[in-house]
Amino acid sequence: MNTHLWIQYFRANQNRFVEPALPPGGCALPASVLEPLRESLAIFQLGESGGGTRLLKYVRHVVSANRLAGYEEAVGLFIAEEQYHARLLEKAVTYLGGVCLEKQWSNSIFRWLRNHFGVEFNIQILLIAELIAEVYYGVMYRKCGDTALRGVCHKILSDEMRHIAFHTEFLRERLDAMPAWRRWLWRAQFRIFQRVTAVAVAWDHRDCFRALGLSPWEAAAMTFKTGERFLRRLGGSQHLWGARPAALAT
């Protein structure tokens, strides 16, 4: 894993984005769209927040065990980018006239799972969340109809695609060191976890997806596809820098 390249990327990405104006309560979308959107976005805002303390602790162990030089710094920059997303989404929720949350059931499950089963599972859960985010922000970008909100979604989606590539490169190296049977088991459990999570999140955010013209099942099916694409890339050897968000293509 070329951690030096990732550190360069994360540093350069800190100053690339110009935030759109997001005046509180300034969104003119109809209430039928606005209300489900802000409730849903507040949950994603909560998911993007968090200090990453446990992840960094796991990573320190991996770095010392495998001499993965630079990975800890790269993960620190990745966490900083997620924290920026949380701040940006906080402004977006306020712009939609909503209020940020302090606790929410699906977010609590995500956090609990991430913090109890070691670095690979922590990264796996993060990755599952990133794959959901790819679909979510992509649908929001294409269908919400508000220019400022589209700008926010475009920025987060572009970053999340890089995060997927970042985690894929890490996991690819970890899996390459496993025997074939263990790799097969890992992929099988990943597919199950990813699909169950995709259905649960799509159902939890069904009002938002419906307001954007999508059934929760269609949203879940889109997330299944991102999961399969991830597994294909995980098994390949190509670098992932050129990966373009499919959600931005239409």
Closer Cβ to Fe ion, 62 or 152, answer by number = 152
Structure tokens at 46: 């909560």
Least spacing, CB of residue 164 vs Fe ion, in Å: 8
**By CB under 5 A, is residue 206 in contact with Fe ion?**
no
Q: Of 91, 163, 167, 205, which lies in the binding site for Fe ion, with binding defined by CB under 5 A?
A: 163
How many residues belong to the site for Fe ion (CB under 5 A)? 6
Helices (H), ranges, 96-242: 105-114, 118-143, 147-176, 180-204, 206-211, 216-235
Burial of 86 (0-12, 13-18, 19+ CB in 10 A): middle
Rounded to a whole number of angstroms, the minimum distance from the CB of residue 160 to Fe ion is 5
The residue (of 96 and 152) whose beta carbon lies closer to Fe ion is 152
* Beta carbons of 70 and 19 less than 8 angstroms apart: no
Chosen residue from 46, 63, 71, 82 binding Fe ion by CB under 5 A: 82
Least distance from C-beta 182 to Fe ion, angstroms? Answer: 27
State which residue, 35 or 158, has the beta carbon closest to Fe ion.
158
Q: Tell whether residue 85 is a contact of Fe ion (CB under 5 A).
A: yes
Distance CA 20, CA 242 (A): 26
Give the residue among 186, 166, 137 at the shortest CA–CA distance from 78.
166
The sign of the torsion formed by the CA atoms of 226, 154, 171, 119 equals: negative
Give the orientation angle of helix 71-95 with respect to helix 31-48, to 10 degrees. Answer: 150
- Which of 90, 146, 160, 169 binds Fe ion (CB under 5 A)? It is 160
Confirm or reject binding of residue 205 to Fe ion (CB under 5 A): no
Least distance (Å) from Fe ion to the CB of residue 125? 12
- 41, 43, 48, 212: which one contacts Fe ion (CB under 5 A)? 48
Provide the 8-state DSSP code for 24: T
List contacts with Fe ion (CB under 5 A): 48, 82, 85, 130, 160, 163
